[in-house]
Amino acid sequence: MQISIRSRYGLRAMVYLAKAQRTCSAKEICQKEEIPFDFLEKIFSRLQQAGLIKSQRGARGGYFLAKPPRKISIREILRALENEEIFSVLCKRKHRFSKKKCPIKKVWKRIRETLSSTLEKITLADLCEKK
């Protein structure tokens, strides 16, 4: 599994919103988290579509979490930001998808299920905790 730059930036922006506990402008988040503005707008569009954040227009406009950080799992965030299912593993043979049964498919399935379950248990609030 490889996490894209979009997901890394998205997680950082979500942690920022969770810690701020208020409406924050995209410009503020970009400056503080060093995320390109245009890229953050695309990330926030996906997060809005997934129901994880909301926006407010106006002079005090910006973005805020749609629900409490303890109710947002890391798996939800990653699923909203990735084009493909990041938890899937395909067996390949010579750079083409193999029609033969993958000998370790069951192992990949168990790894995928364990990873998915673990990411479901970790919340945005967990990422905000000071250690």
Split into its structural domains, the chain has a count of: 1
pLDDT in tens, 25-74: 999 999 999 999 999 999 999 999 999 999 998 888 899 999 999 999 99
Measured CA to CA, the distance from residue 79 to residue 47 in angstroms comes to 10
pTM for this predicted structure: 0.83
Query: Is the pLDDT score of 125 beyond 70?
Result: yes
Contact 80, 44 (CB under 8 A): no
d(CA 63, CA 14): 10
From CA 22, how far away is CA 62, in angstroms rounded? 9
Residue 89: the pLDDT is 61
Residue 111 CA, distance from chain mean position: 19
pLDDT of residue 105: 76
Q: What's the confidence (pLDDT) of residue 37?
A: 95
State pLDDT tens for residues 70-113: 999 999 999 999 866 665 666 665 545 555 667 777 888 888 88
Angle between helices 105-121 and 74-81 (to 10 degrees): 120
Structure tokens at 35: 């995320």
Domain that holds residue 31: 5-128
Which residue type does 35 have? I
The CATH number given to whatever domain includes residue 118 is: 1.10.10.10
